[in-house]
Structure 1
Amino acid sequence: MASYYYFDIKLKLRDPDAVVLTPSLFRNCVLDAFESFFCEEKTTLEIVKFCAQQQRVIFRVPEDTFEMIRISLELIGHYQEMPCHFKILQASKSTLDFEKDIEKNLVGLSDTED
């Protein structure tokens, strides 16, 4: 059975309104960087969660490409020719879900407002 790693990524764009953020375009950006930096054929990259508004993506990759994908993410400097930075918020062998993080933050905010 294949093992996977999960990444929770925040895309930081210089001008977020100037690009179109879609799962397909994000996936192709990461896979193109992987192929460019490591001269490897494209690997499996499955998007688990996607939120264009938050500019966040959770995806999984096979364990054997985890380190190369992590390095590729750190080296990507452009998304659709717009300067950017891919911030790795979390990487894990277990499933990640940024919606739980959002709920925690909202609960924390409502507790402090009282």
Structure 2
Amino acid sequence: MENYYYFDIKLKLRDPTAVALTPSLFRSCVLDALDSFFCEEKPTLEIVKFCAQQHRVIFRVPEQLHDMTRISIELIGHYQQIPCHFEILETSKSSLDFEKSIEKTFAGVSDEL
């Protein structure tokens, strides 16, 4: 059985209204970066969760591609020709869910008040 890593990614765009953020375009952007930086054939990159409003995506890759994927994401500077930054919020060997991480954040804020 193959092991996977999960990535929670937030896309920060200079002009968010100038692009169409879709799962397939996001996936293509990351796959193109892998190809460009490492000349790797297109690996399995499965989108687990997607939220256009938050500009966030959770996807998984095979464990052996963790390092190459992480480096590629950090080097991406454009999304649909718009300057951007892909922020890796979290990586994990177990499944991630950004809705749960938001709940944890708000719970931590209310505990501090």
Q: In structure 1, list runs of 5 or more residues that go unmatched.
A: none
How do residues 28-67 of structure 1 correspond to structure 2 at under 5 angstroms?
28-67=28-67
* Aligned residue identity for 2:6: Y
TM-score, normalisation: structure 2: 0.93
CA shift, 1:110, in A, is 5.9
List per-residue Cα deviations over 1:8-63 (Å, max 9, x = no partner). Answer: 00000000000000000000000000001001100000000100000000000001
Give the letter aligned to residue 51 of structure 2.
C
**Residue 91 in structure 1 maps to residue 96 in structure 2:** no
> What are the Cα deviations for residues 54-81 of structure 1, in whole angstroms up to 9, with x where unaligned?
0000000001111000000010000000
CA distance in 2 between partners of 1:83 and 1:42 (Å): 24
* Structure-1-length-normalised TM-score: 0.92
Tell me the percent identity. Answer: 75
Aligned counterpart, 1:6: 6
Amino acid at match of 2:22: T
User: Aligned Cα RMSD in Å?
Assistant: 1.4
- Unaligned runs of 5+ residues in structure 2 are none
Q: Distance in 1 between matches of 2:9 and 2:32?
A: 17
Distance 2:112 2:63 in 1: 40
How many aligned residue pairs are there? Answer: 113
